[in-house]
Amino acid sequence: MHEYSIAYDIFATAKRTALENSATIVKKVYMDVGEMTMINPEQVVFLFDTMCEEDPLFSGCELEYRSVSVKTKCKCGYEGSERFACPDCGLLPEIIEGREVMVTNIEIEVDD
């Protein structure tokens, strides 16, 4: 179950960022999930929420995700979303977007 390790990495990244910036609370974490990652983002959210329950810094924190569509590029010049065979030449196109799992933003509160 690699969703657990992904949720843990997101949690650890948010915690490290919060501590480096003297946060009093982490309100929301945003992530991008590519269509080709083969993970279930709902499971990642559930596991992340479970981790947050044990840390007061994350009280009420939400993990929000955005699905990233596949974008490909072929040597022949084709650019689009075909994953398996270029519609112009039949070669396997290179996937340039859609395989990432990435924290994009973290909302925190700090004392003045």
- Which parts are annotated binding residues? 2, 74, 76, 86, 89
Sheet with strand 71-73: strands edge to edge? 79-80, 71-73, 94-97
Residue ranges of the annotated binding site for Zn(2+) are 74, 76, 86, 89
Residue ranges of the annotated binding site for Ni(2+) are 2
CA gap 73, 39 in Å, rounded: 23
